[in-house]
Structures are given as C-alpha cells and as structure tokens.
Structure 1
Amino acid sequence: MNIGDAAAASGVSAKMIRHYEELGLIPRTVRTGAGYRVYGEREVHLLRFIRQSRQLGFSMKQIGDLMGLWLDQSRSSMQVKQLAESHIAELDQRIRELQGMKSTLERLAHECRGDHRSDCPILDALGGGAGSCCGPADASA
C-alpha cells in the first residue's frame, strides 16, 4: 500500500509517517521504481503502536524503547512495567505543575475586576509586578 493507504489504515498522517521513518522508529520502506514508498501490514502495525503510545504521552525515546521491548520476544515484562511506572511518575509531576498553573490563573482572574479600567493583576503578574518597564504608561520606551 502507498503512504496514503498506510496513513488511513494506521490513523497516522503521511507527514508523521515520514517523520517516524526519519527518526528510525519504523524501518525505511521499499520504494517503487517511481520512488513511492510501499508499506505492508507490519509497518501499519508499528504505526498503530506508535500512535497508541503517543496518545498515552510517551516521548519518542520512550516509544523507541517500548518498540524495542515489544519486538523482543525474550524481554521481561518487568522492563516494560518499569518504563510505564517511570512515565506515570512523569505524568504525575506534569499534573502537579498544571494544577499549580491553573490555581495561579484562577487566583489572578478572581483578582482582576474585568471592567473598563486598565489596571490588571493578570498582566501585572506576567510582567513581573506593577510598574513594569514596557507598559503603555511608560512613554519613554
């Protein structure tokens, strides 16, 4: 099948298929005499694996590691579990960071009057505090 067919069958865009090939996540495919890539069921299966891994937030490096384990029939499930648990810890950290961002924005939005006045605690916080150097009131900038 051509790259368009492989994209439709795997749910991965043709652009990303080429990218994954460049990264070495999928092997370079055979090409026709006209230079078109030809994909088989194995490549489509690998692309689906990559798509599922990306949906779970794994990095490209982690996906490469997972694929290596997936393709290695002598692997131990302990290695896979360790990789998954490491990713869970990373996700927990990102969740804490996102919750902190949300909390800060909620507080700032609550403090903002949202009226016709120009003073805004949200912009003040982003600018490093009141009286920042670059605001509209600073005509010398």
Structure 2
Amino acid sequence: MNIGVVSKLTSLSSKSIRLYEEKGLITPPARSESGYREYSDQHVQELNLISRAKNAGFSLIECKEFVELAHNPNRKSSEVKAKAQEKLHEVELKIRELKEIEKQLKQWVLTCPGDAGSKCPIIEELTK
C-alpha cells in the first residue's frame, strides 16, 4: 500500500504517518525499487493504535510503548492496565485543575461590570 491509501484507511495525514515513522513509532516500511514506502496491514494496525491512543491523551512516547506492547506476545495485561490507570489519574487531576480555573473565571465575570468605566475587578485581582 502507498501512503495515500494508508492515510485514507487510518484518517491520518501523510505528514503524520511520516512523522510516526521518523520517530520510530511504527515498524519501518519496506521500500520499492524506486524508493517509495510500501505499507502493510501491520502498519495500518500500528497507526490506528497510535491514533486512538493519542485521542485518549497518550503522548507519542506512550504510543510507542503501546505499539511495542502490541507486538510483544509475552506482554501482561496488567502492564497495559497500569498505563491506562496512570493516564486516567492524570486526566482526573487536569479536570480538577480546569474546574478551579473555571470557578475563578466565573467569579471574575460575575464581579466585573463590563461597562465603559476603567474600574475592573479582574485587573485589580490580577495585579494584587
């Protein structure tokens, strides 16, 4: 398969596919006599894994670890679960932080008159 076909099958751009190859996230594709990359079904599976893991918040390094685990017949599901639990903890922490930011912003919006005057409780709070 050429990169265009793989791009359609994975919904990833050619640029992303090349980046993942360059970073060593996927198995290096074979090259044709003319130097074009030749992708296999395995590459499609690896790229789909990376795409789905990224969408779940995993970094490229973590995605690479998932690809390696997918290829390891001796992997333990406990390893995979631990990675997912760690990411879940990070997401929960980020959500709590975002809720605090939301609370602060709502407070500022409520206290600011938003009129033509120069008195602004938001600026006053920020410059304390």
TM exceeding 0.5: yes
For 2:26, the equivalent position in structure 1 comes to 26
> Matched residue of 1:49: which SS?
helix
Note if 1:119 corresponds to 2:125: no
Quickly say closer, same or farther: Cα 1:116–1:82, change in 2 above 3 A: same
> Matched residue of 1:58: which SS?
coil
> Matched residue of 1:116: which SS?
coil
How many residues are aligned here?
A: 128
TM-score by length of 2: 0.89
Structure 1 gap ranges (5+): 131-141
Structure 2 gap ranges (5+): none
Counterpart residue type for residue 35 of structure 2: G
For 1:137, the equivalent position in structure 2 comes to none
- RMSD between aligned residues: 1.6
Q: Which of 126, 129, 140 is equivalent to 2:127? A: 129
* Cα distance in structure 2, aligned partners of 1:21 and 1:121: 51
For 1:101, the equivalent position in structure 2 comes to 101
* Cα distance in structure 2, aligned partners of 1:119 and 1:35: 66
* Cα distance in structure 1, aligned partners of 2:10 and 2:35: 22
* Cα distance in structure 2, aligned partners of 1:103 and 1:88: 22
For 1:2, the equivalent position in structure 2 comes to 2
Larger Rg: 1 or 2?
1
Structure having greater relative contact order (Cα 8 Å, sep ≥ 6): 2
Percentage of matched positions with identical amino acids: 34
* Cα distance in structure 2, aligned partners of 1:107 and 1:44: 48
